[in-house]
Structure 1
Amino acid sequence: MGGYCGYLANMGGLAAGADAAYIFEEKFDIRELQANVEHLTEKMKTGIQRGLVLRNENSNENYTTDFIYQLYSEEGKGVFDCRKNVLGHMQQGGAPSPFDRNFGTKISAKAVLWISKKLKESYRKGKVFANTEDSVCLLGMRRRNLIFQPVIELKDETDFVHRISKEQWWLKLRQLMKILAKYKTSYDVSDSGQLEHVHRPKEVECGTI
């Protein structure tokens, strides 16, 4: 699932300890697929007898789920075998968690209060004048705060073709997956605060995050 947005695949991969998560926002090619297969093969020869690879719904039109499954199956012969599962809408539904109930109550209460306030502000002489920018807003969470943001402001931040945000904050967490999966690479933090990837073939070093 996710369409062109790799958030579900990326965060799911971090939570489950995935070896790789292929997403639309970060382009990948056959060389990276080969490196991932080789990494998984070497890992399977140790005491860790499990692997997990995730693929976002529209991550690549040619490197499909079937292609990746067949690639890993072929290259892993004699070392590991593969099973494929397309989750689809199986991820949805189920009993809400305490967090879900609490979050739902908070945003619904905040939305009703906001609507009531805007109706009072825009009601004049028996008519409602909802012609200001902040009369059409989207309620969402930013930096742990629930914020009403005018839709017109979101226009400049949105990739309407792919229905995703132009700036994805969670992409900064991408390199953590390779660190946790113990790839033979080194990561340092640049002056801008971004994680930089440096290939080191013989050792694993982790910079301060």
Structure 2
Amino acid sequence: MTNATAPAPAIWDPPAAVRVRGALAVVAGAGESVRVYERFGRRLAVDGYTVAAFEAPAAADASAWLAAQVHAPRVLVGSDRGAAAVLALAAGGAPVDGVIVAGVPVGSADDAQAGDAERTACPVHLGVLGEAAAHAVAAAPAIDVPDVAALGRVRIPVLAIHGGADAIAPFSAARDALAALPEVELVETVGGLHDALNDASHRSVAATIVLWLERLRAGGVQTPIVREIVR
């Protein structure tokens, strides 16, 4: 059922000359509209992934949209409260192939009230956050990160990206909470802040995501496609 209080998703398709390699459904963070993920969606689309962004109250709609996509892998992506929402969906058995979370809301600070400078050091993203269009239409639900037992039920690969200098949700707290996941790859953005998908390291984060997606697409994130040879 479509959430009547949330707007339609924003969708970015790969260019016509690029073969579709999978689909991502992004669930926005607290107070964010889909505008916040335009840069992220466009960048992943260029690499062949169809990306749709949903406001946090429409997390169930994101899962339903993803299930209807023809091309696999089908991956849920969430930032901040959106990260808690997609982890809950995965723990509940959502029919997806993987999950990507960023800025998991594990700190004591109220993420919905955080200042923009606590969220990102990227000047372009700061400009986006200052736009009226960046603010959500509907209030984000107060979603907690699933407990240890629930996270233990997530049987699909998870890529977690978290800022090493995140003052809203400290990296150490995120690491401890995510340790309950059976298959998780935790990536730290060195000196990074809370909006890990849109911080100053957004290019490197997008590249990390594409590499992970390509491994997932090839049949397993544990099997490398490229690797460094130490001499």
Provide TM-score, normalisation by structure 1.
0.28
Pick the structure with more helix per residue: 1
